[in-house]
Amino acid sequence: MRILYKVFVVMMAFVMLLPSFAHASWDDSTKPGWDDEEARKGWIQSKIQHMTLEEKVGQLFMVHVYGKTPTDPNYEDTNLSRNRGAKNFKEMIEKYHIGGVIYFNWTANIGTPIDFEQVNALSNGLQEIAMDQRMPIPLMVATDQEGGVVARVTEPATVFPGNMALGATRSTDYARQSSEIMGMELMSLGINMDLAPVLDVNVNPENPVIGVRSYSENPDLVADMGAAQVEGYQKENVMATAKHFPGHGDTNVDSHYGLPIINHDLETLHEVDLKPFKAAIDAGIDAIMPAHIVVPALDDSGLPATLSKPILTDLLREEMGFDGVIITDSLGMSGANVVPAGRVPVEAFKAGADILLNPPNVPLAYNAMLDAVKSGEISEKRLDESVFRILETKFKRGLFHEAGVSPDAIENIGLDENLALADQMTEDSITLVKNEDVLPLTSEKSVFVTGPSIGSPGMLANLLGERGITADAYASSTSPSSTQIANAVEQAADFETVIVTTYTANTNSAQQRLVSELKAADKEVVVASMRNPYDIMAFPEVDANVLTYGFRDVSVEALAKVLTGEVNPTGKLPVTIPELYPYGHGLSY
């Protein structure tokens, strides 16, 4: 009996040690090459087998954290009070084993103007922390760098005019070159994932959230431009993310603040909305982001695509054959919150998502997922499938071989030749829609520039002055007050020609009143549409209309060149302006 008892004690001791053996520190020294698919998959599966449940669940989350450094003491209270569940990046990684982070300007991760050294050091610091954990797994470091109106990395980096401007050039070469340059510059900062390109087909002039973020209303042009940008990003080893599946182009509701419904039938969905996503899949895209939109033809439950198994699993995975990573749009947006907050990440995951982006309450979301797996609501097999896709994508982009980036890489940002190419693309995109012999401007006429400050009327007046045009400016708010409108009309009295820098004026009655009162004052009125191309729908009687598709400095500079005839406009409308101008319209001097 004594011998049996000793044997029993030894066996029990061995059993108690099994967990520590099973989850022993992982050895990354025998990583296979990417081309050896069988070895790669075996290596990843073995790594997953050594991960704890908490580590696996953590890989599903991509979150934002406030701070300029991994342990920035200036934002500890902010992080804790805003439900980050950790006081800084370092604690977030250690506590939740997160798979990725997302940088924003408003979280102080990226400044405006950008400090290249700071962002590069932040990224490298985060990767060092991640690779120093018990289970070393590199981070996806993401941001929204679409170009144009949505760009986190701006001057002195290379700034591009945006998707619809590229659409106006009709050049897939420009699309590919712009994403290659953006990809290179992002990688130089240690940002290895871009939540771009936008593949929505913008067919609704009242779309408040997509608009110029789309290349066009033409699904074939969107497909061609999008596939070219996917190739450009991923050539630089930046994970590209097509958004917003199955298509956010035909809505007049912003999913940040509401829940849009897309009432396209199945034929329209396949011929229009889904076509660019299929092209991206064929181009080998790494990730696809579903939208917080309801599409009754695909799922009549009333749930947004983010939470829809028929859309994410049945359509995207099985019918369209996408085997990459599905990453949700921000889970803090109103369009996602149609179920209790703690259920949103669980239901998105059950629908087919892999990465849960930006939950508003990190501890709540993480523990909800952990509890769902522990209770059996989500099987560990299903969890492992998503973790595998995430790790494989990281492996594919070389992160397991080298997670960091040299500080010297920032020397590749804002190169003269790239800035010149961005200028050329922008100049080629400027579209002259209407011209009643007002343009180009000549030195014989004095010019007054007014409009919302976001359209940079002061900068435009200065650029005109540099080209010999007598010009003055007055900036208003985006929705000009009655006092501002009166001031603009009064100041315009001494000038012959007025340029109004409008900003989505087709849906802004105050801007419409500004234009109409200037026109009533018997002035030559040139409308420079600094965002969406549809502004002229509200005041077709203006003397001229020029489209920039964006308000960045690069667009304002190109606009000045076109207004003065230094550049002859060649851009072609990528959309129809209903009842006024057809797709493909564009004048030259």
Residue 180 banded pLDDT, cuts 50, 70, 90: very high
- Whole-number pLDDT of residue 256: 78
- Whole-number pLDDT of residue 460: 98
Residue from 256, 371, 553, 585 carrying the catalytic annotation: 256
Give 190-210 as a DSSP string: T--EE---B------TT-SSS
Q: Indicate if 256 belongs to the active site.
A: yes
- Whole-number pLDDT of residue 111: 96
Chain centroid offset of residue 275 CA: 20
Q: What is the pTM of this model?
A: 0.93
The residue type found at 247 is G
- Whole-number pLDDT of residue 27: 60
Assign 510 to helix, strand or coil.
helix
CA distance 346 to 338: 13
Question: Region 30-54: what's the mean pLDDT?
Answer: 89
Q: Is the pLDDT of residue 122 over 80?
A: yes
Give 353-378 pLDDT, tens digit per residue: 999 999 999 999 999 999 999 999 99
- Whole-number pLDDT of residue 334: 83
Give 461-507 pLDDT, tens digit per residue: 999 999 999 999 999 999 999 999 999 999 999 999 999 999 999 99
- Whole-number pLDDT of residue 29: 59
Residue 581 pairs with which residues in a beta bridge?
A: 577
Q: Is the pLDDT of residue 3 over 60?
A: no
- Whole-number pLDDT of residue 35: 76
Better-scored residue on pLDDT, 537 or 209 = 537
Is the dihedral angle over the CA atoms 380, 382, 385, 387 positive or is it negative? negative
The domain limits of the chain are 62-419, 430-564
**What is the rounded end-to-end Cα distance, in angstroms, of the chain?**
104
In order of 107, 257, 345, 358, 390, the CA distances from 336 in angstroms are: 22, 10, 9, 12, 22
113 cis-preceded (ω within 30 degrees of 0): yes
Question: Of the given ranges (3-12, 68-77, 372-381), which has the lowest mean pLDDT?
Answer: 3-12
Question: Alpha helices, DSSP H only, in 189-305?
Answer: 219-235, 266-268, 275-282
Residue from 72, 144, 286, 329 carrying the catalytic annotation: 329
Give 446-462 pLDDT, tens digit per residue: 999 999 999 999 999 99
Counted residue by residue, the chain has a size of 589
Owner of token pair 């990573």:
325
Phi, psi of 237 (to 5 degrees): 65, 25
- Whole-number pLDDT of residue 28: 62
Taking 3-state DSSP, the helix, strand and coil percentages for the chain, each rounded to the nearest 5, stand at 45, 10, 40
Residue 500's region, left for phi above 0, alpha for psi from -120 to 50, else beta, is beta
The CATH number of 62-419 is 3.20.20.300
Percent of the chain with pLDDT over 90: 88
Assign 179 to helix, strand or coil.
helix
Residue 8 banded pLDDT, cuts 50, 70, 90: very low
Question: Of the given ranges (236-245, 249-258, 409-418), which has the lowest mean pLDDT?
Answer: 249-258
395 near 547, Cβ under 8 Å? no
**Domain over 430-564 is classified CATH 3.40.50.1700:** yes
Give 307-337 pLDDT, tens digit per residue: 999 999 999 999 999 999 999 999 999 888 8
Average pLDDT, the chain: 93
Q: Indicate if 329 belongs to the active site.
A: yes
- Whole-number pLDDT of residue 148: 96
Q: List the helix and strand counts (H, then E) for the chain.
A: 20, 16
Question: Of the given ranges (30-39, 181-190, 563-572), which has the lowest mean pLDDT?
Answer: 30-39
Selection from 142, 160, 164, 143 nearest residue 152 by Cα: 143
- Whole-number pLDDT of residue 387: 98
Question: Region 202-207: what's the mean pLDDT?
Answer: 90
